[in-house]
Amino acid sequence: MQTIFSIAVDALAYGMVLFVISIGLSVTMGLMRVVNLAHGAFAMIGGYIASYAARDLGLGYGFAVLIAVFGTILIAIPVERLLYRRIYGAPELTQVLMTIGITFCIIGITNFVFGPTLKTIPLPAELQGSVDLGFRSIATQRLFAIVCGLAVALALWYLVERTSFGIKLRAAVDDAAMAAALGVKTEIVYAVSFAIAVGLAAFGGVVGAELLPVEPYYALRYMVTFLVVVSVGGAGSIPGALLACLLLGGIDTAGRYLMPEFGEFFFYLAVIAIVCIFPRGLAGRAK
């Protein structure tokens, strides 16, 4: 019984970290219809900025997170205006080629600027160490990641479903020409949602850094994981992504505990099964 609880707690923590990192990609792919393979690269930039702010400038963790999110958005805005704007609505292949190219450029630049070694983001005293749950202990940072995941999920759901910006965004996605004719400034809507997606990537990169350490090849190393989460959850669906993360986190964690020698067999088996039954993901919308 204790083992089951223990696995459940680990699965929840892992799933939420996955969620925080991947949800930005779900937004770009589902709402903006851009296959953004450079998502991990933006997460990595966030991690680097936070690491630089906290380690080299000695700023507090909260400040470092804020600087990381806004710094990454600042970097991303010119990239959006110059490069991404050209590929909205373009065929998937064009998008994939363009964004993988951006990824390689970012990898090269970070490798040159920050060097190939691992970078850590020092945690504040409150997030270090572990909390005793009674039947086991869990790292405080993991609890923090769980809370962040829930907060992000709620805030995004509210933004997309309950605000006028969300309505405009959904309108622009479904029929850009009609939305524009009705007075929605689609360019601005797209730019803002791109900024939100990038900011979420950076946030995820920082919060998830304990699990996925920041180094130049981050963007490529975890690209498959991010894409799997989005395709299983259904692109653009916040509850879908949340469900997918918890499900995949659970399967992965249980598999690793019970039969580590099978590696990621169960993880990918589950992915194949889900994608077979729900080709658009768990909560994907028909086109």
- Which residues make up the interface to other proteins (CB under 8 A)? 3, 6-7, 10, 13-14, 111, 115-120, 129-130, 136-139, 141-142, 210-213, 215-217, 221-222, 252-254, 256-257, 260-261, 263-264
Percent helix, strand and coil across the chain, each to the nearest 5:
75, 5, 20
| Secondary element (H or E) of residue 137 | strand 137-139
The residue among 114 and 278 lying less far from other proteins, judged by its C-beta, is 114
Q: How far is the CB of 221 from other proteins (least distance, A)?
A: 7
- In angstroms, rounded to a whole number, what is the distance separating the alpha carbons of residues 26 and 238? 8
Structure tokens at 45: 């930039």
Q: How far is the CB of 19 from other proteins (least distance, A)?
A: 14
The residue among 199 and 255 lying less far from other proteins, judged by its C-beta, is 255
The residue among 15 and 281 lying less far from other proteins, judged by its C-beta, is 15
Residue 185 — φ and ψ, nearest 5°?
-80, 90
Q: How far is the CB of 21 from other proteins (least distance, A)?
A: 11
Question: For residues 240-266, b (16+ Cβ closer than 10 Å) or e, as one string?
Answer: bbbbbbbbbbbbbbbbbeeeeeeeeeb
Q: How far is the CB of 245 from other proteins (least distance, A)?
A: 12
The residue among 83 and 254 lying less far from other proteins, judged by its C-beta, is 254
The residue among 50 and 189 lying less far from other proteins, judged by its C-beta, is 50
Structure tokens at 56: 């080299």
Structure tokens at 28: 């770009």
Q: How far is the CB of 212 from other proteins (least distance, A)?
A: 6
- In angstroms, rounded to a whole number, what is the distance separating the alpha carbons of residues 212 and 258? 22
The residue among 34 and 271 lying less far from other proteins, judged by its C-beta, is 271
Q: How far is the CB of 210 from other proteins (least distance, A)?
A: 6
Q: How far is the CB of 253 from other proteins (least distance, A)?
A: 5
The residue among 215 and 283 lying less far from other proteins, judged by its C-beta, is 215
- In angstroms, rounded to a whole number, what is the distance separating the alpha carbons of residues 141 and 55? 18
Secondary structure, 3-state, 178-244: HHHHCCCCHHHHHHHHHHHHHHHHHHHHHHHHHCCCECCCHHHHCHHHHHHHHHHHCCCCHHHHHHH
